Amino acid sequence: MPNSDERLSKVNTNDRRVKRTKKLLRDSLFALLQKKSINEITVTELTEVADINRATFYFYYTDIFDMLEQIQNEAYEIFESVLQGTEESVNSPEAFANYIKNILVFCQENTAIARFVITREYNNNKVLKRITKLLAKNVPVAKENYPQEDPRRFILNFALNALTGTVVDWMDDGMVISPNIMAEFIADMYISGSLFAKSKFASYTSNDDDF
């Protein structure tokens, strides 16, 4: 049996019907994941919810886990494209706030995918780790410039967990506050908190030169 890559090479993935079908399957999977784990979801159940026949599902995917992996890869590519070109520019409070705003706008425009990406509820969510690494590379004070006995080495970990948690809560709250305002708030909290931590533990040796 040909794998999903071989099958998809024979179809135009930019075709509107293909996009519509895959989106319907994806949204149906997200809906089911609100009620049960990925291990409990069957192809039959998914296709019934999506109102699509099983043959169509198997044209695109080998099984549920193949579908999950494809969605994760697509989500990462979308997320990466959103942040493309910002890697070298996160060097000021304003640039950092704009960086976060891009993330929030992505979440606002792709809520279902965003929830799937930034929550830890789904088994084998490899994309979350990939995105965390992507964020860690660009977030200020991301360098490993503190010795093991210096608690400030956990500033980034604290910030990333706070960021994902805040974004989830913001989405749960209906995203009433604009991405601009939320981005400024998150950036201010991170920067002021980092500066406070640096000054509190000023006795430790540090070579960092980020804001």
d(C-alpha 128, C-alpha 137), whole Å: 14
pLDDT number for residue 61: 96
What residues have CB less than 8 Å from 127, skipping those under 6 apart? 72, 73, 75, 76, 117
Of 184, 27, 179, the C-alpha closest to 94 is: 184
pLDDT digits (tens, 9 = 90+) for 113-141: 887 777 655 545 567 777 777 777 766 55
pLDDT digits (tens, 9 = 90+) for 29-61: 989 988 888 889 999 999 999 999 999 999 999
pLDDT digits (tens, 9 = 90+) for 97-112: 888 898 899 889 888 8
pLDDT digits (tens, 9 = 90+) for 73-87: 888 888 788 777 555
Given 1.10.10, 1.10.1760, 3.40.50, 1.10.357, which CATH number is that of 72-200? 1.10.357
The answer to whether the pTM exceeds 0.75 is no
pLDDT number for residue 180: 94
CATH topology for the 4-62 domain: Arc Repressor Mutant, subunit A (1.10.10)
Tell me the average pLDDT across 60-81: 87
End-to-end CA gap in the chain: 55
Among 39-43, 90-94, 111-115, 194-198, top mean pLDDT goes to 39-43
pLDDT digits (tens, 9 = 90+) for 138-177: 665 545 567 777 777 777 778 777 888 888 899 889 999 9
Residue with tokens 């493309």: 84
- Residue 101 vs residue 10, higher pLDDT: 101
pLDDT tops 50 at residue 10 = no
Listed in order, the ranges of the chain carrying CATH 1.10.357 are: 72-200
Ramachandran angles phi, psi of 64, nearest 5°:
-60, -40
Q: Is residue 3 classed as helix, strand or coil in its secondary structure?
A: coil
Half-sphere exposure (CA, 13 Å, Cβ side) for 160?
Answer: 22
Q: What is the DSSP string of 36-103?
A: S-GGG--HHHHHHHHT--HHHHHHH-SSHHHHHHHHHHHHHHHHHHHHTT-TTT--SHHHHHHHHHHH
